[in-house]
Amino acid sequence: MADFVLKGHICYSESKNELITRENAYVVCVGGKSKGVFTELPQQYAVLPLKDYSDCLIVPGMIDLHIHAPQYAFRGMCMDLELMDWLNCYTFPEEAKYMALEYAERAYAIFVNALKASATTRAVVFATRHRPATELLMKLMEESGLASYVGKVNMDREAAEVLVEESAAVSASETVQWIEAVKEKYTNTKPILTPRFIPCCSDTLMEHLRQIQMAYGLPVQSHLSESPGEIDFVHFLRPDNAFYGEAYNDYDLFGKNEDNQTDVKTVMAHCVWSTDEEIDLMRKNGVFVAHCPASNMNLSSGIAPIRKYLDLGMNIGLGTDVAGGHSDSIFRAITDAIQVSKMYWRYVDQTMKPITFPEAFYMATLGGGAFFGAVGSFAEGYAFDAVVLDDTALVHPQELSVSERLERAVYLGLDTHGIRAKYVNGEKIIF
Ligand code: GUN
Ligand code: FE
């Protein structure tokens, strides 16, 4: 892997409130990791090849903590229903098509090409319950140069017969075969356990997943407290649980469980309606929240109390949740997160201050990046994931600071036409 230096206007988060901008600065990549940002290039790096992106903005790659690859095909349609009906009427019939590898090949190629062209460098991805199609998606993701966790979905109840797995035992055995096939196959593409959500996973299946998690040590992704109808159904299915998240915690699939001395890296999408008890446990267990504001609007799910989660110091990042969310743009998710937080403040709770741009940018980079380790910043030691943005098309008559240019680049969606280069782990993957 080649070492190099990039020059440009460098923007990155050092903490949730600190957006650093350095004009005409240098960021150094050695062995796929950042050596830090410098206004004067240290002598020891002067020998490295330098790529001068002069007036461009250089930002860490965006992290999508929650996206459904098979739903990319119907993004921007079918927006007239709430979650449970939307799943049954549109999502499950579409996902059933991935039984046919020929369809999966066409659809996943489109998805991967789009993600590669976007500002996203890393993603946590739901596939479908089908093992061959999931393995194919992982192969395409690895070839793209993007970094990801990809999950074969588990679902053994409460879905159309064409999609639901035959039994908990079959679901578990397919999962083990899939993990065995992919666990050491790729550098940038790793498996993640993916119980779809409690309504689709029987207690027996959850027990199998607990065992599989213990055997392989995989992280976990799922959905939590997204929509009122879903939550009512979980209370009906599991009346003994005080709150929804307890159903995952009962099977040690909910972050760090001190009682059982287990520690499972976990990301839960949405958490719109989490109760105080649920929030307490997520915080204590270090569960990541994937905030997906576009999806929460499209499916009329609600507005997640993100100010509360940030102020509690919880792990939190952004997700697009395509196709609940209609766009795969994390820039768009940043603006959506800020906008919905303003509606929350105005309509729901005036003690909850709106999210600021630096906070939303943090969630999109360093906040979500933490799920992957030292990712999402240019501080020394972080994985070198970078996006170079050329904003010359956004002409302006007045002087603008670098942070103003960055905010505008995000709000005006420069990720659709302004990307000049993209790096993952120090490898240039586009342009
Ligand atoms: N809950 C269970 N499955 C899904 C899904 O595919 N999308 C969303 N938004 N929520 C879910
Ligand atoms: Fe989702």
Ligand showing the shortest atom-to-Cα distance for residue 301 = 1
Total number of domains constituting the chain: 2
Verify whether ligand 1 is closer than 6 Å to residue 95 (CB atom): no
| Residue to substitute in 64, 65, 67, 68 for testing ligand 1 pocket (most ligand atoms within 8 angstroms of CB) | 68
Q: What is the pLDDT of residue 266?
A: 98
Q: Which string of b and e fits 335-353 if b means at least 16 CB within 10 Å?
A: bbbbbbbeebbeeeeeebe
Q: Are residues 323 and 217 in the same domain?
A: yes
Q: Are both 184 and 237 inside the same structural domain?
A: yes
What is the pLDDT at residue 194? 99
CATH number at residue 20: 2.30.40.10
Residues pairing with 269 in the sheet: 223, 290
Average pLDDT of the chain is: 98
Pocket test for ligand 1, best of 71, 226, 271 (most atoms within 8 A of CB): 226
- Do 368 and 393 fall within a single domain? no
Instruction: For residues 37 and 134, state if they share a domain.
Output: no
Ligand 1 contact via 83 beta carbon (within 6 Å)? yes
Ligand 1 atom having least distance to the Cα of 68:
6
The confidence band for 258, taking pLDDT boundaries of 50, 70 and 90, is confident
Q: Do 165 and 209 fall within a single domain?
A: yes
Tens-place pLDDT, residues 402-419 = 999 999 999 999 999 999
> Which of 372, 398, 414 finishes a domain?
372
Q: Please tell me if the CB atom of residue 295 comes closer than 6 angstroms to any atom of ligand 1.
A: yes
Mean pLDDT, to the nearest integer, of 210-218?
98
Question: Ligand 1: which atom is nearest the Cα of residue 91?
Answer: 6
Helix (H) / strand (E) element for 423: namely strand 419-424
Number of H helices, E strands in the chain: 15, 19
pLDDT above 90 for 272 = yes
Q: How confident is the model at residue 185 (pLDDT cuts 50, 70, 90)?
A: very high
Instruction: Return the pLDDT at 414.
Output: 97
The per-residue pLDDT for 404 is 98
User: What angle, 0 to 180 degrees and rounded to 10, lies between the N-to-C axes of helices 402-411 and 330-343?
Assistant: 90
- Ligand 2 center from residue 412 Cα (angstroms): 25
Q: Whose CA is nearest to atom 9 of ligand 1?
A: 324
**Residue 24 belongs to domain spanning:** 4-60+376-430
Terminal CA-CA length for the chain: 17
Amino acid letter, residue 29: C
In terms of DSSP bridges, do strands 189-191 and 147-151 run parallel, antiparallel, or are they unpaired?
Answer: parallel
277: tokens are: 């008890």
Number of the ligand closest to the Cα of 124: 2
Whole-angstrom Cα distance, residue 67 to residue 243?
25
The residue whose two tokens read 């397919």 is 174
pLDDT in tens, 235-248: 999 999 999 999 99
- Cβ–ligand 1 distance for 270 under 6 Å, the answer no
Whole-number pLDDT of residue 130 = 98
CA 90 to ligand 2 centroid distance, Å: 14
Region 264-291: mean pLDDT is 98
Atom of ligand 1 nearest to the CA of 197: 2
Residues 48 and 149 grouped into a single domain: no
The CATH number of residue 105's host domain is 3.20.20.140
Which of the ligands is closest to the CA of residue 70?
1
Question: Using one digit for the tens of pLDDT, what is the confidence trace for 91-135?
Answer: 999 999 999 999 999 999 999 999 999 999 999 999 999 999 999
Reported as a single tens digit per residue, the pLDDT across 6-53 is 999 999 999 999 999 999 999 999 999 999 999 999 999 999 999 999
370-387 in b/e form (b: 16+ CB < 10 A) is bbbeebbbbbeebbbbbb
184 and 36 inside one domain = no
Q: Is the CB of 68 under 6 A from ligand 1?
A: yes
pLDDT higher than threshold 80 for residue 1? no
| 3-state SS assignment for residue 177 | helix
Asked if residue 87 has its Cβ within 6 Å of ligand 1, the reply is: yes
The stretch 204-220 carries a mean pLDDT of 98
Q: Which ligand 1 atom is at minimum distance from the Cα of 223?
A: 1
Query: Which of 132, 12, 69 minimizes the C-alpha distance to 380?
Result: 12
Ligand 1 neighbourhood includes 196 CB (under 6 angstroms): yes
Residues 6+ away with beta carbon under 8 Å from 42: 28
The predicted pLDDT at position 134 comes to 99
Q: Is 388 in the pocket of ligand 1 (CB under 6 A)?
A: no
Name the residue type at position 230.
E
What integer pLDDT is reported at residue 259 of this predicted model? Answer: 85
Query: For position 260, what pLDDT does the model report?
Result: 84
Evaluate: CB of 244 within 6 angstroms of ligand 1: no
SS3 content of the chain, % helix, strand, coil (to 5): 40, 25, 35
Task: Please give the pLDDT value at position 41.
Answer: 98
Query: Which of the listed residues 372, 389, 415 is the one where a domain comes to its end?
Result: 372
- CB–CB of 10/365 below 8 Å? no
370-377 average pLDDT score: 98
Q: How far apart are CA 339 and CA 67, in angstroms?
A: 21
Domain boundary among 356, 372, 388: 372
Residue 125 and residue 10 share a domain? no
28 CA → ligand 1 middle, Å: 40
**302 & 179 share domain:** yes
Ligand 1 atom nearest residue 295's Cα: 9
Q: How far is the CA of 128 from the centre of ligand 2 (A)?
A: 12
pLDDT recorded at residue 355: 98
Same domain for 71 and 10:
no
Mean pLDDT of 152-177: 96
- Residues 387 and 283 both lie in one domain: no
Q: Could you tell me if 380 and 365 lie in one domain?
A: no
Which pLDDT value is given to residue 169? 98
